Amino acid sequence: MGRVPALEEPLKKILGGNTAKVMAEHLDLHTVGDLLHHYPRRYAERGELTRLADLPLDEHVTVVAQVAKAAMKTFNHGKGVRLEVVVTDGSGSLTLVFFGRGAYAREKELIPGRRGMFAGKVSVFNRTRQLLHPDYELLDRDSGAEAAESFAGKLLPIYPACKQFQSWKLSKAVDTLLDLFEAEQWQNITDPLPPVLREGRGLAELADAFRKVHRPRTKADIQDARDRLKWDEAFVLQVALARRRHTESQLPAVARKPVADGILDAFDAKLPFTLTEGQRTVSAEIFDDLATEHPMHRLLQGEVGSGKTMVALRAMLGVVDAGGQAAMLAPTEVLAQQHHRSITEMMGELAEGGMLGGAEHATKVVLLTGSMGAAARRQALLDLVTGDAGIVVGTHALIEDKVQFHDLGLVVVDEQHRFGVEQRDALRAKGHSRGEKRTPHLLVMTATPIPRTVAMTVFGDLETSVLDQLPAGRSPIATHVVPAKDKPHFLARTWERVREEVQGGHQAYVVCPRIGDDLGEEGDAPKTSGKASKAAKAAEAEAKDGTGDGGERRPPLAVLDIAEQLGKGPLAGLRVEVLHGRMQPEAKDDVMRRFAAGEVDVLVATTVIEVGVNVPNSTVMVIMDADRFGVSQLHQLRGRVGRGSAPGLCLLVTEASEASPARTRLDAVARTLDGFELSRIDLEQRREGDVLGQAQSGVRSSLRMLTVIDDEEVIVAAREEATAVVAADPELERLPGLRTALDALLDKDREEFLDKG
């Protein structure tokens, strides 16, 4: 072809339209750069040259031998065929076996007298050693030991592939590209790493890294390539985030400094407890940010029950003192109502601004959800636009165009992972002060503890504050796995324990993965008639990919079914109620109010109670089909009990077998209450697809070589380097290679994600 392509060139120009179409549709590979960055997931080793007399069982070997005889045989009443080829090297013999259509092609090549190199894993069948479908290369009479050694020692790249485009086809396509680049000395390749950085850290050049990762001669080659390519991913991503931070720091915002003797001081004075040291430290960080004329952009993460809402409320009161308004965005109506209720209870007369009996320094705290009645909604909107309401708590209804603020100074987003960035951005866009557009300060909260490196990679544009202390008076939670299938008497004992707690004056939760009315399932999911629930799909995928117990699995247990069974059976006589995402909002709120008031003994619910729900009298959490939930979700659910002075108990009911990965996961949850440790375990099991994929950014993960759990040092160093590079050259004018790599990483979707923060 005589012309070396650029990395952004479409594959169809190099490989042809049909091949490129299959690669685009099934592997999401569109450009030359996409294919070169599609790295082998592992390398097959053919094994050392071995004499047939010395063959070890269950190991990969390469032998040089001569075909002694070959015979085609049928089996399964003539429906199947296999080719059996006996080879010998003088010291012993070995049988090569090929099944199916490939057997006919090989029959023509592997004829008695031909000599070749054969590689595969040694197994035994009918007391005969054999290689099943071995790789082989036939030798000329002149080929000697050198050719055999080269064949045996070769590392064969195995690529992530699909049935429409197998690994060997990918290998061939990559070879085509590499040959083009080699012929022209890699002329058009642009290196994203600044030369000073690359040389200073002793990293290979990009061309060398591509060569070594796709055509390694030794294992050292693979390591060299990995070291370099990990840096590419970490550095380019961190540059994108550093530019986001830099841009954010240039935006104008109104400094919100709390005033002395205002509503915040009045609130602090009436608190019946003292803040933890962690809460005081994090509050100081937030108030420092709020006092600047550039928008705060902070992530507040902490253990279940560590008091994040208290920290957020104090920040909101500080903004109200400074003449602004604060909005808290919650993912579900149940959680919005719960936050509104707990905030007004904590504030007391301070939340009764303009009302009879309201305190001198008081404001209104309003609730805004999609299901509110027209009159209440009109009043809430009026209170926001006039500024009478200093604090609003709401769902995505807050984002609608008709919602206007008098002076929005702070946006608090609870459970960031439940919101699209567009929703968060739309709320921030409502900020203006004295007629001028001003970006509100932003505080993002998550109750799912995130390992430091993940926070740095996923939320790298946010400053991070961590609450890892529990407030005084919180009780320990004991967690046990209940193997319902192996030991049914353990399940019977579970319901006895629930009865005992209720008789002792306490309450219990029972959580199920499904609602049970055969519509689209789980939590607040919309109706999707006839489709399996998200939980059921996850369980099905788990069974298929080997993380579950495999085989056919029954549908997940359902709230409506379990509530009925418990009410008529082991919990007969107790006050059992249900709560799920498709109940009418008034009905949901009524159930939660009665449960909080102690008028319901046992609440059978979906994960709609996962975050924010606070009923200190609840002491038992029974999670049915616990293996169908993720580690972080189990930790969240468990955090609903042990919130008062009585100890909490969490029982994880499962049918997963003792040796299964699902059971290992549950044992980990039972073993530790440390959410950061559990999030690390969760990440090790899920890897990065879920971390940087759709759940976080709306696009697929950009990580192919880097693993955020294993490459902490690289990520930390890349963040430091990226921050320095962007500070010196925000537009990257002196680094065209980096700019090109950034454009490739930031396709339209990801660019929007980072722009919206």
Asked if 631 contacts 685 with a C-beta cutoff of 8 angstroms, the reply is: yes
**For residue 709, pLDDT beyond 50:** yes
Q: What is the rounded average pLDDT for all residues in the chain?
A: 82
Cβ(521)–Cβ(639) below 8 Å: no
The half-sphere exposure of 60 on its side-chain side, counting CA atoms within 13 A, is 14
The answer to whether residue 302 scores a pLDDT higher than 50 is yes
pLDDT value of residue 117: 77
The dihedral of CA 367, 372, 374, 375: what is its sign?
negative
Mind giving me the DSSP string for 679-743? HHHHHHHH-SHHHHSHHHHSS----SS--TTT-HHHHHHHHHHHHHHHHH-TT-TT-HHHHHHHH
Tens-place pLDDT, residues 729-739: 999 988 888 88
In sequence order, what are the residues at sequence separation of 6 or more whose Cβ sits closer than 8 angstroms to the Cβ of residue 280?
Answer: none
Does this model's pTM top 0.85? no
State yes or no: pLDDT of 241 exceeds 80.
yes
Q: Which tens digits make up the pLDDT trace of 169-205? A: 888 899 999 988 887 777 778 888 999 999 999 999 9
Asked whether 328 and 320 are in contact (CB, 8 A), the reply is no
pLDDT above 70 (res 150): no
Amino acid identity, position 600: V
- Three-state secondary structure call for residue 136: strand
Quick: pLDDT tens for 206-220: 999 999 999 998 899
User: In this predicted structure, which of 83-92, 492-501, 605-614, 699-708 has the lowest mean pLDDT?
Assistant: 699-708
Task: Name the more confident of 563 and 7.
Answer: 563
Token pair of 645, please?
Answer: 């002075």
E strand or H helix at 622: strand 618-623
- Tens of pLDDT, residues 384-430: 999 999 999 998 888 887 888 999 999 999 875 555 556 667 777 78
Lowest mean pLDDT among 22-36, 315-329, 425-439, 684-698: 684-698
- Taking a C-beta distance cutoff of 8 angstroms, is the pair 311, 286 a contact? yes
Beta bridge partners of 74: 81
Q: Nearest to residue 13, comparing CAs of 22, 1, 25?
A: 1
Listed in order, strand segments (DSSP E) in 89-234 are 93-99, 115-125, 128-132, 135-138, 155-158
CA distances from 622 to 149, 199, 448, 634, 660 (A): 61, 56, 20, 11, 21
Rg (alpha carbons) of the chain, rounded to whole number: 31
pLDDT of residue 545: 36
User: How would you classify residue 351: left for phi > 0, otherwise alpha for psi between -120 and 50, otherwise beta?
Assistant: alpha
Distance (Å, whole) CA 299 – CA 287: 14
- Nearest-angstrom CA–CA distance, 458 and 455: 5
Look at residue 571 and tell me whether its pLDDT is greater than 80: yes
CA angle, 299 as apex, 295 and 304 as ends, to 5°? 145
